[in-house]
Copies of this chain bind each other. A is one copy, B any other.
Amino acid sequence: MDITAGKKRPAEELEGEQPPVKRSAQYIMREPSIFNIKPVDDVIKYIADFIGKHCHLQNVEIEAKFGLFIDKKTYKRMNINALTETIIPQELVRNYRFESNMALEQHRHFNKMLNEMVTKTRAKDYKGERIQYKHTNEIDRFYAIPNSNSKWRVTIDQQGKIVPNGIIEKERIADLNIHSPNQPLDFRISVNVEHPRPKPTCDFMYERVKDRISYQHGGISFDLTQVKSTTSNEPDLRHELELEMSDSTLLAVERMKYNKKEQSQYTQMIEVFVNNIRLLGRSALKQ
């Protein structure tokens, strides 16, 4: 399960969280509010509305990437004096670029944490949902389609075979950029459409080698990837952590129910997505 070499750093505890403990008799279980309901926070509400606008699209991909917002002038991490997690307003976004990357040690630390969770959920007496994972080595090849502005991507496995649904043209739909001043990493939520395409007949421009471990839990795919690029525009090696919502069709169905004010899992699905982003962000190694 280890995609990084070298000596590992010790795992840090998740900060500010308390694992479920056996409650003593003195523990008062309070109702969540005078209305006996629990509100979702503003950021989750905003994310839910953002994703809700796009999740009905065919072949939609909804993912969160960890990284840093870098000030284009200072080349340093964004600093807007925010005290808590902040959705970056559109008028500010242009001053920053998002680097979907992290230090090798941070990547390795996530790898270790997630592996430990796999081990934990594989125990014979474990009652909860077990984490599935798979390790893949794939190559993305990018093609400039003649007489068009299109770029297509073909993904092949180690045997050189095109993987299922492996030829696509990616269309960027929208980004939501979120700065986490109290955490070592920011994140971006992206909505893309992956249009299926036929096999291109021209030669590819460049390729990316992807060494990935993909963990599956709670309807989310947690993808830890080392990406080697053959273009000179990008760093030689990138370390990515992406969370993708696995079932956008279910999400769209639930959103529709939500819009019709029917019983719906939509908000819960978004909450779980954001819970995972926040917990991983908080447990990231400080650099």
Contact = CB atoms under 8 A, between A and B. Distances in A.
Interface string A67-88: 0000000000000011111110
Nearest to A113: B35
Given A32-B275, A42-B43, A42-B182, 12 more contacts: A17-B39, A23-B263, A27-B265, A30-B272, A31-B128, A34-B217, A34-B279, A35-B117, A41-B85, A42-B278, A45-B84, A81-B91
B220 A34 contact: yes
A123 interface: no
Interface string A198-235: 00000000000000000101111010000000000000
Contacts of A14: 35, 37
A218 B267 contact: no
Interface of A: 14, 16-21, 23-24, 27-28, 30-46, 81-87, 89, 91, 114, 117, 128-129, 131, 180, 182, 215, 217-220, 222, 263-265, 267-269, 271-272, 275-276, 278-279, 282
Say what secondary structure dominates the interface of chain A.
Answer: loop
A34 B114 contact: yes
A87 B91 contact: no
A229 B10 CA distance: 61
A30 B222 contact: no
Q: Kindly report how many copies of this chain are found in the complex they form together.
A: 2
Nearest to A88: B83
A20 B46 contact: no
A114 B267 CA distance: 26
Contacts of A38: 275
Nearest to A182: B42
A217 B14 CA distance: 32
Contact of A30 (B46, B85, B268, B278): B268
Nearest 3 CB-CB pairings of A with B: A42-B84, A42-B85, A33-B275
B39 A282 contact: yes
30 contacts: A14-B35, A16-B39, A16-B45, A17-B40, A23-B263, A24-B263, A27-B263, A30-B218, A31-B217, A32-B272, A33-B275, A33-B276, A34-B117, A34-B218, A35-B117, A35-B279, A36-B128, A39-B278, A39-B279, A39-B282, A41-B84, A41-B278, A43-B84, A43-B85, A46-B83, A46-B84, A83-B86, A83-B89, A84-B86, A84-B87
